[in-house]
Amino acid sequence: MGSFSGLYISFSGVNASKRSLESISHNISNVDNYYYTRQRAIHADSPYNKYGNYKVGLGVDTQKVGQVRDEFLDKKIRGELSKYGFWGVRADIFSQIEEIIGEDLGKKDKKDTEDIGLSKIMDDFWKSWEEVANDPSNNTKREHLKQRAIEFVDNVNHIYNQLNDLQFSLNKNVKDVVSSVNEKSKRVAELNQQIVASEATGAKANDYRDERNKLLDELSQIMGIDYYETSSGSVNVTLGGRHLISEGRYRELSTVEDGGPFVDVCWGDSGEKLDLDDELKSGELLGLIKARGKGDSPSIGSKQYEEMIPTIKAQLDTLVNTIANAINGIHGGNDTSKHFFGSIDGKDIRAGNIKLNIENVNDIIVSDSGDANDGSIAKAILDLRNGKIYGEGKLNIDEFYRNLIGDLGLSGEESINMAMAHETVINEVEGKRKSISGVSLDEEMSEMLKYQHAYVANTRVVNAIDEMIENVVNRLGVVGR
């Protein structure tokens, strides 16, 4: 009986080594799979047999093939992914706005912006008024002023229209991201069902879990999710305490127009709008929604440049409207037919609808006297440049625009710095996670040699016991004859 027991023990060692080698082979096959989690066969002593006062071991059992994973690091990296998603989106939008405006928003000395973009165009525009004021009868200089005015009008309209296009592009991105969330949520719910069914027998559904972990990483970058694993193996995902995914079920999100061209993100079943700060909290989706805003001006109570595009549009509107109205007040006064600037749609002048009213250089009013050498009106318009006509008499035109660019630049720098900071943390934590969960060929080869030797050793024990049994049987056979 003892020999047969030894044979059983040796066979258990062979099987355990075989299971470990199979796990190692699976690991090596997935060495380039970024989301794969290293697996290990978990072995434990088999139950003992009791012979009188003695307990005799019965070898080894393979309890499960488990994943080598640190759940704390998963939580940490997913929290950072949400923050990175939010700030990364803002940093990307900032770079697009910088390209649209044509200014170097990252300059520390905002006076240096005077040589590029709208700053340069406005500077040329005011210099042209100075030339006309100094030589009012010179039609060449009047033509030059007209061209600089056209350049100013075209540029602010182009900037505004480009911002408008970007705003609608972000609105489309919101819709696309919500669709992506629904697809990922549906797949997580399906994986929950598959994992629960597979693990009901005691085996771990490791490959399903890898796919689910990948989706949880992706959902975390999109939204500030919370999640927890149930005793059955499902993962439930919540937004602000409300279930997005519950075991094998999920709730769809929808995008609903709010009476204008832009959409709100709502719960699909109830139509209730998601609370941005309490439910989305962070992530790419929140970054897109806040940068896009809801219209041509920021919402009441929003922080400075929180709603990036509406804030810039409103600031540009103020810049253009104030300049146009101030010039028109001198150039034509109450006679709107003689105004220097007008609007394309007949509404209040702003960035996006401003136009040049004058058709030829003779329409440019330089004085009231009619004297060819009198440039008093041109001089009065030129003086507007240094007049404190913004911020309740605190800022002139150049100061207002420099503040606009400076504040936008600071907001952009904050977004870039925050994105970089969270990316650094992600890389550090991801490095730790990969050192634990990732596949190292050197380590796998070392483990392979260990279990290969164990396999060979156990087979030798099997052979030795087999020879012993064969000798016993043969000798018993001789005595019996």
**Residues 168-207: tens digit of each pLDDT:** 999 999 999 999 999 999 999 999 999 999 998 878 899 9
pLDDT score for 110? 46
Q: What angle do CA 54, 58, 64 make, to 5 degrees?
A: 135
d(CA 404, CA 296): 16
Task: Using alpha carbons, select from 268, 205, 260, 267 the residue that is nearest to residue 239.
Answer: 267
DSSP H or E run through 41 = strand 39-45
Mean pLDDT across 340-366: 93
Task: Using alpha carbons, select from 447, 462, 443, 448 the residue that is nearest to residue 13.
Answer: 462
d(CA 450, CA 20): 10
> How high does pLDDT run on average in the chain?
90
Q: What tokens does 17 get?
A: 């080594």
Helix, coil or strand: residue 55: strand
Strands (E), 271-366: 341-343, 354-356
Written as one letter, the residue type at 195 is I
Q: How far is CA 205 from the centre of its chain?
A: 30
d(CA 300, CA 310): 12
Q: Higher pLDDT residue, 56 or 328?
A: 328
Query: Which residue bears the tokens 């710095």?
Result: 417
In this structure, of 41-45, 264-268, 361-365, 473-477, the range with the lowest mean pLDDT score is: 473-477
pLDDT score for 116? 62
d(CA 227, CA 247): 11
Q: For residue 447, count other CB atoms closer than 10 A to its CB.
A: 17
**Burial code of 356-383, b = ≥16 C-beta within 10 A, e = fewer?**
bbbeebebbbbbeeeeeebbebbbbbbe
Query: Which residue bears the tokens 């409207």?
Result: 321
Mean pLDDT across 46-59: 75
pLDDT score for 477? 62
Sequence-ordered list of residues with C-beta below 8 angstroms from that of 44, at least 6 positions apart, any chain: 60, 61, 63
Q: Higher pLDDT residue, 63 or 478?
A: 63
d(CA 404, CA 162): 18
Report residue 304's pLDDT band, with 50, 70 and 90 as the boundaries: confident
Distances, alpha carbon 406 to alpha carbons 122, 155, 420, in Å: 17, 20, 21
Asked whether the predicted pLDDT for residue 427 surpasses 70, the reply is: yes
Report residue 4's pLDDT band, with 50, 70 and 90 as the boundaries: low
Task: Using alpha carbons, select from 332, 319, 318 the residue that is nearest to residue 385.
Answer: 319
74-131 pLDDT tens trace: 999 999 999 999 999 999 999 999 999 987 765 545 455 455 689 999 999 999 999 9
Please give the full DSSP string across 91-110, using - where no structure is assigned. Answer: HHHHHHHHHHHTS-TT-SSG
pLDDT score for 1? 45
Contact present, 284 and 177 (Cβ < 8 Å): yes
pLDDT score for 469? 78
Query: Which residue bears the tokens 């001789």?
Result: 478
Please provide residue 231's backbone torsions phi and psi, each rounded to the nearest 5 degrees.
-65, -25
DSSP H or E run through 128 = helix 117-134
d(CA 287, CA 246): 26
Mean pLDDT across 247-274: 93
Mean pLDDT across 232-245: 95
d(CA 225, CA 81): 10
Query: Which residue bears the tokens 């689910």?
Result: 212
Distances, alpha carbon 209 to alpha carbons 28, 32, 80, 206, 367, in Å: 18, 17, 21, 5, 80
d(CA 181, CA 220): 10
Q: What tokens does 351 get?
A: 């960035």
pLDDT score for 3? 61
Asked whether the predicted pLDDT for residue 442 surpasses 80, the reply is: yes
In this structure, of 86-90, 294-298, 346-350, 356-360, the range with the lowest mean pLDDT score is: 294-298
Phi-psi sector, 352: left (phi>0), alpha (psi -120 to 50), beta = left
Please give the full DSSP string across 23-36, using - where no structure is assigned. Answer: HHHHHHHTTT-TT-
d(CA 419, CA 80): 10
201-227 pLDDT tens trace: 878 899 999 999 999 999 999 999 999
The dihedral sign for the CA sequence 450, 453, 459, 460: negative
Task: Using alpha carbons, select from 98, 82, 84 the residue that is nearest to residue 411.
Answer: 98
